[in-house]
């Protein structure tokens, strides 16, 4: 079964996404970028749904560190952001495999995860 890591600092968002994905994927979670890197190293998920704006370590930095690690670089990263910051969006697009802006419909995120998991 495809493994998906949900990374968001808001517990309610994590729960909503886990609920939407848990029937079709093996889902785990992290509350910030630092936890995401630790989980990526121990669990090696197929797809990471990465919130961009988080405390401790944001999703941009976490994604860079994951993608620059040869053992983790094959993990697909779906960036999720609520900020319309063009510079941050540009940086995310270079490092991430897909990008979705908040607000989004849950089915849109589920479809994005499905597309990435087919490629992995």
Q: What's phi and psi for 41, nearest 5 deg?
A: -70, -40
**Beta-carbon count within 10 A of 92 CB:** 22
CA-based angle 78:100:83, to the nearest 5?
Answer: 110
Domains of the chain as residue ranges with CATH: 3-119 (3.40.50.2300)
> Which residue intervals of the chain are DSSP H helices?
11-21, 33-43, 59-68, 86-95, 106-119
Which contiguous run of DSSP H or E holds residue 82? none
d(CA 46, CA 89) in angstroms, rounded, equals 23
Contacts of 68 (CB under 8 A, 6+ apart): none
Task: Output the tens digit of pLDDT for each of the chain's 120 residues.
Answer: 999 999 999 999 999 999 999 999 999 999 999 999 999 999 999 999 999 888 899 888 999 999 999 999 999 999 987 766 665 666 566 688 888 888 889 999 999 999 999 854
Report the side by side order of strands in the sheet with 47-51: 26-30, 3-7, 47-51, 76-81, 98-101
CA-based angle 69:71:73, to the nearest 5?
Answer: 60
Could you tell me the end-to-end alpha-carbon distance of the chain, in angstroms, rounded to an integer? 12
């Amino acid at each position: 079964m495809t493994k998906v890591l949900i990374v968001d600092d808001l517990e309610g968002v994590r729960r909503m996404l886990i609920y939407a994905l848990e029937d079709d994927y093996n889902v785990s979670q992290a509350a910030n970028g630092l936890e995401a890197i630790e989980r990526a190293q121990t669990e090696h998920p197929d797809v990471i749904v990465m919130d961009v704006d988080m405390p401790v370590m944001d999703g941009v930095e976490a994604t860079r560190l994951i993608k620059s690690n040869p053992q983790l670089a094959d993990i697909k990263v779906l960036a999720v952001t609520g900020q319309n910051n063009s510079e941050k969006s540009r940086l995310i697009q270079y490092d991430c495999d897909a990008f979705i802006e908040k607000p989004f419909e849950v089915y849109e995120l589920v479809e994005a995860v499905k597309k990435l998991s087919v490629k992995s």
